Amino acid sequence: MAKGITSRESDYPQWYNDIVLKADLAENSPVRGCMVIKPYGFTIWEKMQRDLDDRFKETGHVNAYFPLFIPKSYLSKEADHVEGFAKECAVVTHYRLKNSEDGKGVVVDPDAALEEELIVRPTSETVIWSTYKNWIQSYRDLPLLVNQWANVVRWEMRTRLFLRTAEFLWQEGHTAHATEAEAQEETLNILEVYAAFAQDVLAVPVLKGRKSASERFAGAVETYCIEALMQDGKALQAGTTHFLGQNFAKAFDVKFANKDGKEEYVWGTSWGVSTRLMGALIMAHADDQGLVLPPKLAPIQVVIIPIYRSEEQYDEICTVGREIATKLKSHGISVKLDDRDTERPGWKFSEYELKGVPIRLAIGPRDLENKKVELARRDTGVKELVDLEGIDQTVEGLLEEIQKNIYQKALDFRKANTHEADSYDEFREILESKGGFILAHWDRSAETEEKIKNETKATIRCIPMEEDMKEGKCMVTGKPSAGRVIFAKAY
């Protein structure tokens, strides 16, 4: 048990919390439900942002910024949207404070009540579509492919760092199209972008699929998602894309003149991923020693730790350490030489294990003599002596290998934890004993979905897209099913 981290087996939620806190990723703030993202955690998030942002731009999207506040009445303009989002939210009612009469602080100035209350955005469809009304007149103005990186607030009662917080950071794409087909294509294209990012960067395999009606975004015609499996056998929704049809265009009266000069309502999509991905990253890869970071997201990819007894040894080893660091940096590898003499090597070893640094190089006096360094992989724990000569190629190749291995490990885990259930009894048995993704037949009724959820806490994570659907009979009602869907307990 490293540095007081609870083991996964003894208490999984506590293990998660320990990792978040002790690896310096985030902590709770003085404001209920809001987190502070610490520098180490934020650097990982920045790397995610940069990679995703590049992918959005490569696919023709541009960034913009819309207001934090939404007039209360806007939320009511789309009938389903208001049900989903106008409930638990932060409401700004006043715009001024004044000194309290006892002189001991400030109080809300009752004379400064807003005529219409403002909601801190829980998502921005309403304010963005009200803006699009002015941006779109003709088919020449379409498509509009806009994204924003922003903070949003949903007043959650039970919060968990990264997974569910009142304020979180995300990106929200909002696109407008001339045709239904183009909007649908966008929804699926972005789903591919998300899935590729999850696989190539997070090293997390994801299932792509459609949500059932009950799990749809409030205001969407269709919601698609990527779903990942965590080490405790629970699913985590890692990103969603929504085909909005003409719902928001109608709510905000956004029309365009088509090539024939005829007015039509615009078709829309929206899509987002959030700091929740940090939770997925942790729960997919970390172990009882701490974080395990895929090299593409590691703030420090290689740490170099000198092992010495005398000051002379220290100087000699640090000189070599600096040479290695320079060489690695010239390959674009991020390296830290931890030459602090205030901490012992053993302490440093477990510190960088905890922080998930993919490769550790330890250099002792004997290694120097033999022109070797000890290389330890965080993902497998394997240590070996490698030649100082060509260390840059060794490390470069290994970082790629680690990235792949972490993904493969998660993929193997998912395969081992994906099961088919042919009866409701079998379903419940698998759910309780093993968890994981369960493929089972469902009659497509909301009633059956609700019954399963109430009785087992499992929800339909998605209706798969890729696999050939084979007909069958609902495990609960015996009614016809168009194909197996994926159930799991979920975060």
Q: Which range touches a copy of itself (CB under 8 A), out of 82-90, 171-179, 302-310, 387-395?
A: 82-90
Q: Three-state DSSP class for 453?
A: helix
**In whole angstroms, how close is the CB of 422 to a copy of itself at the nearest point?**
43
Unique residue bearing structure tokens 């409030």:
218
Quick check: 63 binds a copy of itself (CB under 8 A)? Answer: yes
**In whole angstroms, how close is the CB of 342 to a copy of itself at the nearest point?**
7
Tokens representing residue 287 in the block: 């172990």
Please state, in angstroms and rounded to a whole number, the distance separating the CA atoms of residues 332 and 330.
5
Helices (H), 311-390: 311-329, 345-354, 365-369
Member of 17, 51, 155, 472 binding a copy of itself (CB under 8 A):
155
How would you label 206-232 residue by residue, b for 16+ Cβ within 10 Å and e otherwise?
A: bbbbbbbeebbbbbbbbbbbbbbbbbb
Residues 432 to 471 in contact with a copy of itself, rule: CB under 8 A: none
Instruction: Rank residues 90 and 386 by Cβ distance to a copy of itself and give the closer one.
Output: 90
Residue 271: which H helix or E strand, with range?
Answer: strand 267-274
List, in sequence order, every residue forming a beta bridge with 164; answer none if it has no partner.
Answer: 160
DSSP sequence for 386-425: EESTTHHHHHHHHHHHHHHHHHHHHHHHHHHTEEE-SSHH
Dihedral sign, CA of 162, 167, 173, 176? positive
Quick check: 31 binds a copy of itself (CB under 8 A)? Answer: yes
Instruction: Rank residues 166 and 195 by Cβ distance to a copy of itself and give the closer one.
Output: 166
Please state, in angstroms and rounded to a whole number, the distance separating the CA atoms of residues 362 and 306.
6
Member of 73, 137, 319, 423 binding a copy of itself (CB under 8 A):
73
Instruction: Rank residues 34 and 188 by Cβ distance to a copy of itself and give the closer one.
Output: 34
Q: Three-state DSSP class for 279?
A: helix
Instruction: Rank residues 12 and 69 by Cβ distance to a copy of itself and give the closer one.
Output: 69
Quick check: 347 binds a copy of itself (CB under 8 A)? Answer: no
Instruction: Rank residues 85 and 427 by Cβ distance to a copy of itself and give the closer one.
Output: 85
Member of 64, 196, 213, 446 binding a copy of itself (CB under 8 A):
64
**Contact letters (x/-) for a copy of itself, 102-131, by CB under 8 A?**
--xxx-x--------xxxx------x--xx
Member of 60, 67, 381, 478 binding a copy of itself (CB under 8 A):
67
Quick check: 70 binds a copy of itself (CB under 8 A)? Answer: yes
Quick check: 490 binds a copy of itself (CB under 8 A)? Answer: no
Member of 19, 35, 236, 328 binding a copy of itself (CB under 8 A):
35
Tell me which residue of 323, 362, 369, 366 sits closest to 345, measured CA to CA: 362
Q: Count Cβ atoms below 10 Å from residue 449 Cβ, excluding itself.
A: 22
Angle, helices 276-285 vs 39-58, to 10°: value is 110
Member of 12, 17, 34, 490 binding a copy of itself (CB under 8 A):
34
Member of 7, 17, 46, 456 binding a copy of itself (CB under 8 A):
46
Quick check: 333 binds a copy of itself (CB under 8 A)? Answer: no
Q: Which residues bind a copy of itself (CB under 8 A)?
A: 27, 29-31, 34-39, 42-43, 45-46, 62-76, 82, 86-98, 104-106, 108, 117-120, 127, 130-131, 134, 140, 146, 150-151, 153, 155, 167, 169, 342
